[in-house]
Amino acid sequence: MTKLVPETTGQEQQIRTACEAFWLTADHQLLTKEQTESAAHQILVELDLPASLLGWTMVVLFSESWRKPFAAVPFSKRMLLVPEISDDDTGLRELCQLATDLGYHVLAAKASSEVLARILSGQVEAILGIATLDVLEKAIDKIQMVELPCLAIPAERSDDGQLLFDTLWAKQWLNQAADGGHLHQASRYWQVMQAAASLFAPDQLETLVRPDRKWEISGQTVADVDQLLEKTAAVASTEALAFDFLAKGGKYSRPFITLAVYDALTHGSSASNGSLVVDLPDEVKRAAISIETFHKASLIHDDIEDDDQYRYGELTLHRRFGTPLAINVGDFMIGLGYRLVSRDAAALGTEVVAEILDILAEAHVRLSEGQGAELAWRESSGKRLTPADAIEIYALKTSPAFEAALLVGARLAGCIDGLRQPLRDFAKNLGIAFQILNDLKDWSEDTGNKLLQGGDITGGRPTVLWALALEGLPPADRRSLQELVGLEPPLDAEPPLDAELQIERVRRLYEKADVFEKSLELVRQHRHQAEQIAAAFPADSLRMLLQYLTDCVLERTELPPANVSSPLPVGTA
């Protein structure tokens, strides 16, 4: 899509006036990206303006659709989202100060996790964003599906890197009066996101899971067993640690999927009345919590098996309390997950409960098989691994969690005989693509979990990246790669490399084998398959949800950034 901006203020005003009129002359429903493109094209034809302005017109038309819902949100629940500010961006700095004075939340666009956290917590209900056209165009589909009121100001970068945008227009949007005159029929998606996150607040966990007991350490960081026993009785310590871990960190994407599928198959085709959380039965909420307990239990056990040091920016449980206690907390959470479902037999019906428990048990078995295959590979001497082997492990280890979340949500909503296999196929492709992206993320620093690049290599984990490298490198380079990770004895008696140089040499060999681009191509292939499966669902609400999940879960599609901090001698791999 073309990314040109109007050459004159006259052209800009013509387009803005026409886009405003489009929404004033009829009671339009929110448009899809394709419908927005068609309407923008028609506006340009009527104004006799070039088609090269299509992208800019789409963004303006999209923003106008949210003018009234945006105005209904008070300043204190709005966010100004801006790109990273350079020293020369005086106009952007002035706008940020104005927004702060009005009561807006102001964040840089890079802080996507913080944006999501504020939306899920209910702090933010509308966003004004300033970004370049390519960024805004990519966001239209996602925002339209979430239906969070958003206004966007198109910008462009000058040759010297300064962000150029219409500051007067931005100030007009920023000052949209919070009149509350247009009650927005709120999106189900971000309502469901908030509902999923709220389940893990301490008061909700107490009410839904264990109403007869509070756990004393919630929200605190307990460093060791002595501190733990100071704050809770020994017999309650396992439960306290489990509930505390449930309430910490993560996006709660799996319980969101369960709730969203349930909502899509029960309410999703109708307009929201703003009372979604009230509409969700407690037994549905508990089933969604159970999905997260299994996920969090697997994280505890994975951290032990990998001897990872950090989780959610804190020391892992086994590093704080020892491996035996951490294993026991993970086991407790597995039992808790099954109990959360089994105890609602009266409300759900024994047949529904039996089927949900079977879904969870099947996912648990397959996940353990996948993890077992990974551990067996790590303990083997040959370390033979093909890309197909790695993908099979991913299908077992990562996909079952998505599958269980989808199938449980569907079963809670009714019979799933016609949905079972398509949802499994969708989850398989989504999980494989997600895990490959996670492997690529390993080559970028993860400040949230305090990880450095190349953790999968130093931890000896089998990845599709490693398999592609072995497949794509000539014998001499393949041996060099295996020497670097200690799988082959070095031919030359060189002193051991420090970790940073070791990882950088592995990166160079990966780049030589074109591993990163090949991995992204695999992501594209599995994403395409997931999208095709989603498109075949007859129910509009479920089809749109699966398309949204694909877009959100598989958001990243760029190559890992090159690491130039450790330059290597010429001729070194």
Q: What would the pLDDT profile of 41-66 be if each residue is shown by its tens digit?
A: 999 999 999 988 988 888 888 888 88
Distance, C-alpha 540 to centroid of its chain: 23
Q: Are the C-beta atoms of residues 70 and 150 closer than 8 Å to each other?
A: yes
Which residues are paired to 150 by β-bridges? 127
Structure tokens at 463: 């990845």
Dump strand ranges (E) for 158-271: 163-164
Residue pLDDT, tens place only, 24-43: 776 556 677 778 888 899 99
Q: Are the C-beta atoms of residues 484 and 476 closer than 8 Å to each other?
A: no
Please report, for residues 4, 21, 182, the alpha-carbon distance to residue 56 in angstroms, rounded to integers and kept in the order given.
Answer: 7, 17, 26
pLDDT of residue 469: 92
Band of pLDDT at residue 227, cut at 50, 70 and 90: confident
307 phi-psi bin (left φ>0, alpha ψ -120 to 50, beta other): left
pLDDT of residue 143: 61
pLDDT of residue 328: 97
Structure tokens at 81: 């989202």
Mean pLDDT over the full length of the chain: 82
Q: Are the C-beta atoms of residues 97 and 84 closer than 8 Å to each other?
A: no
Does the pLDDT at position 362 exceed 90?
A: yes
**What is the DSSP secondary structure assignment for residue 85, as one 8-state letter?**
P
pLDDT of residue 452: 52
Does the pLDDT at position 172 exceed 50?
A: yes
pTM passes above 0.95: no
Q: Residue 540: is it exposed, middle or buried by C-beta count within 10 angstroms (0-12/13-18/19+)?
A: exposed
Band of pLDDT at residue 269, cut at 50, 70 and 90: very low
Does the pLDDT at position 447 exceed 50?
A: no
408 or 93: whose pLDDT is higher? 408
Average the pLDDT over each of 337-346, 355-364, 457-466, 488-497 and give the range with the smallest value.
488-497
Q: Quick one: angle between helices 399-413 and 350-379, nearest 10?
A: 180
* Residue reference for tokens 């959470």: 333
Residue pLDDT, tens place only, 471-515: 999 999 988 888 887 767 676 666 666 777 888 888 999 999 999
Determine the Cα–Cα distance for residues 309 and 315; give it in Å rounded to an integer. Answer: 6
Determine the Cα–Cα distance for residues 245 and 297; give it in Å rounded to an integer. Answer: 9
Determine the Cα–Cα distance for residues 413 and 267; give it in Å rounded to an integer. Answer: 10
Distance, C-alpha 494 to centroid of its chain: 43
**What is the DSSP secondary structure assignment for residue 200, as one 8-state letter?**
T
Counting residues of the chain whose pLDDT is more than 70, the rounded percentage is 81
302 or 125: whose pLDDT is higher? 302
Determine the Cα–Cα distance for residues 252 and 194; give it in Å rounded to an integer. Answer: 10
Pairs from 527-533 (Cβ < 8 Å, separation ≥ 24) = 527/429, 527/433, 527/554, 529/425, 529/429, 530/426, 530/429, 530/430, 530/433, 530/554, 533/422, 533/425, 533/426, 533/429
Does the pLDDT at position 154 exceed 70?
A: yes
In total, the chain counts a number of residues equal to 573
CA torsion sign for 439, 445, 450, 454 is positive
